[in-house]
Amino acid sequence: MHQDEAVIKLKSIEALIITLAILGGISYAIIFAEAPPHIPVVLALIALIIFGLCKRVSLKELEAGIISGAKAGIGAVFLFFFIGMLISSWMASGTIPTFIFYSLEIVDANYFYAICFIVASVIGISIGSSLTTAATIGVAFMGVSQALGLSDAITAGAIISGAFFGDKMSPLSDTTNLASMTVGVDLFEHIKNMSLTTIPVFIISLLIFIFLSPSGAETTDFAKIEALQTGLMDLGLVKWYTLIPFVILSVMAFKKISAIITLSAGVLSAVIIAFVVQQDMGLQKMMDILFKGYVSKTGIADVDSLLTRGGMESMFFSITLVLLALAMGGLFMKLGILTALLEGIKKYLVKTWALISTTAGTAIGINFMLGEQYLSILLTGNAYKDSYEKAGLHPKNLSRVLEDAGTVVNPLVPWSICGVFMTTVLGVQTLDYLPFAFFCLLSPIITIIYGMTGLTIKKVDE
């Protein structure tokens, strides 16, 4: 989707009113009416179609907007399919059960949330994918959290915070590469400059997670933990070689091999190992697991609850919502609403603090309107490139803001690709983990503070 696809020209105030009405209606329906997010998004689509018809936009053009928006999500749809199969195959092969078993061995409940945050950060940097991090080690940590009797919401917040720190700072990350390429900044210069805002946020988030981590003596039922470990061992899935799929996935991600190919290798290697560790595994059973998810039938409620998950089918909720949300975004573009908002904002950007703050606000707004982090980077970067040049600011300031307020905000939006994905794989509603995703919440705040104070803001000649 591109900005020049708009078929009508709106006034900025008109676009603002429409946007507030649409987003306000969706938010009210999800938060207060507790409606499934699909319904308010569909109603928003209908409202935008009616608005377009009132503006004499042809049905053909409106359909084209919907289709072009949905097309932007095809890559994510395929990714979701493979992630669903990855989780179920890693359950069947023992990869995730092994992660859970050894995590229970080393995890200290006194620092559990901080450990989740640090480990997710390291894995995220290593493989450059927040989604894969959450779907693998994140799922394992959610199981450990439940076994320890800790808060699912805080655990999910720690996992997501770490995953997006890793994604943001990894040279393997697609969003990191996209931000640097969009504004024409060297990748490693972009990462180095981004660390000036990211490292302080990481430290603050870590301290908060340490503070929130409860006393192990007060919260942990060690008998329950031992029973859980015994149940995992009795399954016969805890083997050192079941971690091979994770090693393969990490190496391929480090070599920047296509995400689909990397995930496919992770699935296939897990399938092979599953046939080794489970003697009764047949081809038909494996096909059912890949589609419907892995179902644990040990008779131990805690073990079965931890391991019964994944499968292509488990991603259908996410996929349908993502396609609907992106279709809505396509109409925002086609009807010129987003273009009008950007044009209305740009003329007021005469000072550095206003430029930085508005760039961050735009990236956040696009995440809420379109539900897509790539578009928040692309559209915001292209919209403000000239403004930064005229202000004499180095483009790496722009690329940093795109990540600080674009990349990390996406999982905080209930109808966004990352928001839906995290809710699906971690089993925690977006609005439940949102208050605890400290890294994602603080990143845009810090970048705006830096813009207002001029701290680390670089001029072109510096």
Query: What DSSP letter does each residue of 167-181 carry, written as one string?
Result: HHH-TT-HHHHHHHH
Do the Cβ atoms of 96 and 136 come closer than 8 Å?
yes
CA-closest candidate to residue 415, choices 69, 15, 4, 54: 69
Gyration radius from the chain CA atoms: 23
First-residue to last-residue Cα distance in the chain:
35
Q: Is 37 a member of any domain?
A: no
Q: Is 222 a member of any domain?
A: yes
The whole-angstrom distance between residue 90's C-alpha and the CA centroid of its chain comes to 21
* DSSP conformational letter for 314: G
Q: Is 393 a member of any domain?
A: no
Angle of CA points 307, 312, 315, to nearest 5°: 90
Do the Cβ atoms of 338 and 88 come closer than 8 Å?
no
CA-closest candidate to residue 266, choices 283, 246, 281, 286: 246
Q: Is 207 a member of any domain?
A: yes
Q: Identify the bridge partners of residue 294 per DSSP, sorted by sequence position.
A: 309
List of E strands, 118-177: none
CA-closest candidate to residue 167, choices 377, 380, 362, 430: 377
Pairwise CA distance, residues 271 & 263, whole Å:
12
Q: Is 153 a member of any domain?
A: yes
Helix axes 112-127, 187-212, angle to 10 degrees: 160
Tell me how many domains the chain contains.
Answer: 1
CA-closest candidate to residue 25, choices 318, 368, 358: 368
Answer whether 0.85 is exceeded by the pTM. Answer: no
Chain position carrying tokens 């000649």: 461
CA-closest candidate to residue 191, choices 165, 168, 174: 168
Q: Is 263 a member of any domain?
A: yes
Q: Is 9 a member of any domain?
A: no
Do the Cβ atoms of 423 and 182 come closer than 8 Å?
no
Query: Who's near 242: CB < 8 A, 6+ residues apart?
Result: 93, 94, 95, 97, 98, 273, 277
CA-to-CA dists, residue 415 to 164, 285, 328, 410, 443, angstroms: 18, 33, 11, 9, 20
Chain position carrying tokens 């290593």: 126
Do the Cβ atoms of 194 and 168 come closer than 8 Å?
yes
- Both tokens of residue 383? 């919209």
SS3 393: strand
Q: What phi, psi does 139 have (nearest 5°)?
A: -60, -40
- For every one of its 462 residues, what pLDDT tens digit does the chain have, with 9 covering 90 and above? 444 477 888 888 888 898 888 878 887 887 677 777 788 889 989 999 999 998 888 888 888 888 888 887 777 677 778 878 888 888 888 887 887 777 667 666 678 899 889 988 887 886 677 887 888 778 878 877 887 788 999 999 999 999 999 888 886 677 887 788 778 888 778 888 999 999 999 999 999 999 998 765 444 555 556 766 777 787 778 888 888 988 888 788 777 777 788 888 989 999 999 998 887 888 888 899 899 888 887 777 667 766 777 788 887 877 787 788 778 878 888 888 878 877 777 666 667 888 898 889 888 987 887 677 877 887 778 778 778 888 888 989 999 999 999 889 999 998 788 898 899 889 899 999 999 999 999 999 999 999 899 888 888 766
CA-to-CA dists, residue 9 to 4, 6, 66, 189, 329, angstroms: 11, 7, 18, 38, 17
Domain membership of residue 134 as a residue range: 75-315
Query: Who's near 63: CB < 8 A, 6+ residues apart?
Result: none
Q: Is 18 a member of any domain?
A: no
Residue 260, Cβ neighbours under 10 Å: how many? 13
SS3 8: coil
Pairwise CA distance, residues 412 & 419, whole Å:
6
